[in-house]
Structure 1
Amino acid sequence: MARLLPLLVIAVWIFIWYRNRKGASARPRRTAAAAAPARLSKEAAALGLLPQDRQDTKRLLRDPQIDGAREAAERGAWEPAAEAMTAIGKDWERRTALVISLARAAADEDAWLTAWEAARPGDPGAAAVRARSTVFLAWQLRGARTADRTSAEQFEGFHRVLLRAREDIARAIELAPEDPSPHVSDLWAGLGLGYPHAYMHELWAEITDRAPHHYEAHYSALQYWCGKWHGSAELARDFADKAASGAPAGTLLPALRLVAHFEHLDRPFNGKHYRTPEAMAMVDTLLADLPAVRPDHPRLPEARHLLAFFLVKQKRHAEALEQFRLVDGCVGSLPWSYFEDPAEKYCDYRERAVQGAR
């Protein structure tokens, strides 16, 4: 199916999106009452947990293969990225994670990617990275402020670059028709351009034909269906429920229920929202899925972070501490990334687990 909609249709949807999203946030920042800076207690130190200043708020996990390719790219060398693409092959979950990591680097400086494209014209890996990096560039131009604090010039650049990204996405799809990664990039273009629901359903069919249980794709689509973008709490929760209920063990898709729940709480610190029978069941279902998840799944740490947060809210401190010990040091994840100081909030909740588990 052709990936480019007529520009006139896109322009109309840009107008509708801008009108309807006025006041909406690209990434809502959850805040709470001021608290004392988190300190490392003797009990936490005895467990080998790291202090607040050693928590990496930009990284979700340490992955030698993905990190090595990105670090080489940041030094200007494209060859390790190309080699990693070849090594990962059709492992779509990890390929998409690699594309995202490399694309973030390219959005900041793309000389290495341009050299890769020149050395290997038509390389599908380079094309996938280019497509996603253009999407990232567009979001950088927009900024993370609410729509009413974003200038007309920022919106113009945002939409103009997203339209260009769609051309890059179409090329990446043409070069690697079976790879879902460019389609996942299209989900984020659609978030900004306001794709119609009907078109999003068509795009989703393209993705699930290639990778029916792709976690990164599901997470991205869930954002589209959230109330802060182009859906509602009901649509987001329905999407998460359908994905989780039909998934085989080890896909992490039960984590989507926790994401949808968290995304639609006006008072995210109110513990009663996490102690309902429904919320308890969400957590138990995800805990039961974890033993079947491959250890190198790129989004496994985020599932553990979400579980740790929910488990503290449910006063299941020993179970929460088990999750905290498995992810300590890298906190660039939900739910912490939605707070003003992710490392402080993480350490605050971790300390609650440490003390509650005693």
Structure 2
Amino acid sequence: MTVLLWILAALALPLVIAALWFTGVFVKELFSPSPPGPDATALAAERLGLLPAERQDTEHAAPPAAWSAALTAACSGDWTPAAELLRADGRDWERRSTLTAELGTLAAEEDGWLLAWEAARPDDPDAAVVRAQSTVRLAWDLRGARQARYTSREQFEGFGRMLSAAREEIARAAELNPEDPTPYIVEIWVALGLGCSHAEMDELWERITSRDPYHYGAHYAALQYWCAKWRGSKELAFDFARRAAERAPVGSLLTVLPLIARFEHDETTDVAADSTPEMLALVDAGLADAAACAASDPDHPGLAQLRHLLAYYLHLQDRHEAALEQFRLVDGHVDALPWNYRGEDAAAYYCRVRNETVRMAAEAV
């Protein structure tokens, strides 16, 4: 009898264990919290027509300009649309330098179309300046974006050789079109990379401003040179940014420079530092500058960058309605400060700040 009881118990044990297991699973499912639903702030942003992170363009600060077709043609080997656009821009130096930068980036990846252009028009100043730009871009690609301590000796050597070669190409482009500031604007990145002295930079700056005193792209590049992380200091960067912004006419977008200088040298986590009377005045000046530019030149290449920084600082200043207005104007494109300093997390960071702005603006109503 005892043996029979042991046999029955042994047979029943798996059933008991299974029952306990299923009971445990049921109780766990019953009392476990439900899976988290969609982020409420993200849903609120989407209801306003704002895009999620996966739909943000991380390669542009604004919708691609009218010359995107020319870039596509160049990728297919046809250089003539790009050549026609550069020639048509004439003395519109801002657009010329922006298009040159786009074409130079393209040529740094594959330059068959540029070689064909140079062969067809050997002394074309437009082809020459694109070649100079592409060589500078290739040099920076060889160096890489990492800090110096993470950059190899071979990278630095290739970087230096390419920048030295670019100087000859820049000189040739300048000689072919003496009125054009674009070759000298390209040279700022050579001066920054090779560590040219402040006196050399001042001389280069005179060449640029004598041709175009309020060129946005030139001022942006020069400010990078004067930042502490490159060839200047916090004091020099702030001084350069302040003087340029004070002298520039409204609508030139140069009010962005003090905001960039602030962002580049911000070492505090104290949000109150972004709401001082000085910072409030800088943001207000930027809003007026953006409005004037939008009225007179809505396709200005630098307008989106100013709007991105305005959205960021307006958010930090708890001016959420005004921040949301700027976010609406730039949403969908996040290759701009402050987002693009986050690398692969640019879109996620942008959406996090934007969605918080949406939430705070709704609560303020």
Aligned to 1:275: 275
1:177 aligns with 2:178: yes
1:324 aligns with 2:327: yes
For 1:298 and 1:142, locate their aligned partners in 2 and report how far apart those are by CA, in whole Å.
Answer: 26
1:314 to 312, 317, 321: 317
**1:1-358 correspondence runs (5 A):** 41-267=42-268, 269-293=269-293, 294-340=297-343, 341-358=345-362
Structure 1 window deviating more from structure 2 (38-47 vs 217-226): it is 38-47
Find the residue that maps to 1:339 and give its secondary structure.
helix
Q: Which amino acid is the alignment partner of residue 331 of structure 1?
A: V
For 2:39 and 2:61, locate their aligned partners in 1 and report how far apart those are by CA, in whole Å.
Answer: 20
Superimposed CA distance per residue, residues 66-100 of structure 1 (whole angstroms, 9 cap, x where no aligned partner): 32222221222101100111221111111110000
Structure 2 unaligned runs (5+)? 1-37
Find the residue that maps to 1:65 and give its secondary structure.
coil
Find the residue that maps to 1:145 and give its secondary structure.
coil
Q: CA deviation at 1:63?
A: 3.5
For 2:191 and 2:347, locate their aligned partners in 1 and report how far apart those are by CA, in whole Å.
Answer: 31
Q: CA deviation at 1:64?
A: 3.8
For 1:39 and 1:355, locate their aligned partners in 2 and report how far apart those are by CA, in whole Å.
Answer: 9
For 1:337 and 1:156, locate their aligned partners in 2 and report how far apart those are by CA, in whole Å.
Answer: 27
Contact 1:318 1:357 in 2 (8 A): yes
Q: CA deviation at 1:62?
A: 1.9
Contact 1:213 1:251 in 2 (8 A): yes
Superimposed CA distance per residue, residues 173-206 of structure 1 (whole angstroms, 9 cap, x where no aligned partner): 0011111111110000000001110010000000
For 2:39 and 2:91, locate their aligned partners in 1 and report how far apart those are by CA, in whole Å.
Answer: 43
Structure 1 window deviating more from structure 2 (305-314 vs 85-94): it is 85-94
For 1:338 and 1:39, locate their aligned partners in 2 and report how far apart those are by CA, in whole Å.
Answer: 27
Q: Which amino acid is the alignment partner of residue 325 of structure 1?
A: R
Contact 1:244 1:254 in 2 (8 A): yes
Contact 1:305 1:335 in 2 (8 A): yes
Superimposed CA distance per residue, residues 262-312 of structure 1 (whole angstroms, 9 cap, x where no aligned partner): 000124x54123111111111011111122211010010011000001111
Contact 2:223 2:241 in 1 (8 A): yes
For 2:139 and 2:349, locate their aligned partners in 1 and report how far apart those are by CA, in whole Å.
Answer: 29
Structure with greater Cα Rg: 2
> Could you say if the C-alpha distance between residues 271 and 167 of structure 1 is closer, same or farther in structure 2, counting changes exceeding 3 Å?
same
Q: Which amino acid is the alignment partner of residue 357 of structure 1?
A: A
Name the Cα RMSD after superposition.
Answer: 1.4
The normalised TM-score by structure 2 is 0.86
For 1:216 and 1:244, locate their aligned partners in 2 and report how far apart those are by CA, in whole Å.
Answer: 14
For 2:352 and 2:267, locate their aligned partners in 1 and report how far apart those are by CA, in whole Å.
Answer: 21
Identity, in percent, stands at 56
Tell me which stretches of 4 or more aligned residues in structure 1 moved more than 3 Å.
Answer: 37-40
Contact 1:227 1:233 in 2 (8 A): yes
Structure 1 unaligned runs (5+)? 1-36
For 1:270 and 1:123, locate their aligned partners in 2 and report how far apart those are by CA, in whole Å.
Answer: 53
Residue-pair matches, total? 321
Superimposed CA distance per residue, residues 214-264 of structure 1 (whole angstroms, 9 cap, x where no aligned partner): 010001000000000110011000000100000111100000010000000
Superimposed CA distance per residue, residues 29-50 of structure 1 (whole angstroms, 9 cap, x where no aligned partner): xxxxxxxx98872321121111
For 1:288 and 1:333, locate their aligned partners in 2 and report how far apart those are by CA, in whole Å.
Answer: 20
For 2:187 and 2:266, locate their aligned partners in 1 and report how far apart those are by CA, in whole Å.
Answer: 27
Q: Which amino acid is the alignment partner of residue 316 of structure 2?
A: K
Contact 2:41 2:358 in 1 (8 A): no
Q: CA deviation at 1:60?
A: 1.7
Aligned to 1:7: none
Contact 1:257 1:282 in 2 (8 A): yes
Contact 2:41 2:356 in 1 (8 A): no
Structure 1 window deviating more from structure 2 (335-344 vs 209-218): it is 335-344
Contact 2:274 2:317 in 1 (8 A): yes
Higher RCO by CA contacts (8 Å cutoff, separation 6 or greater)? 1
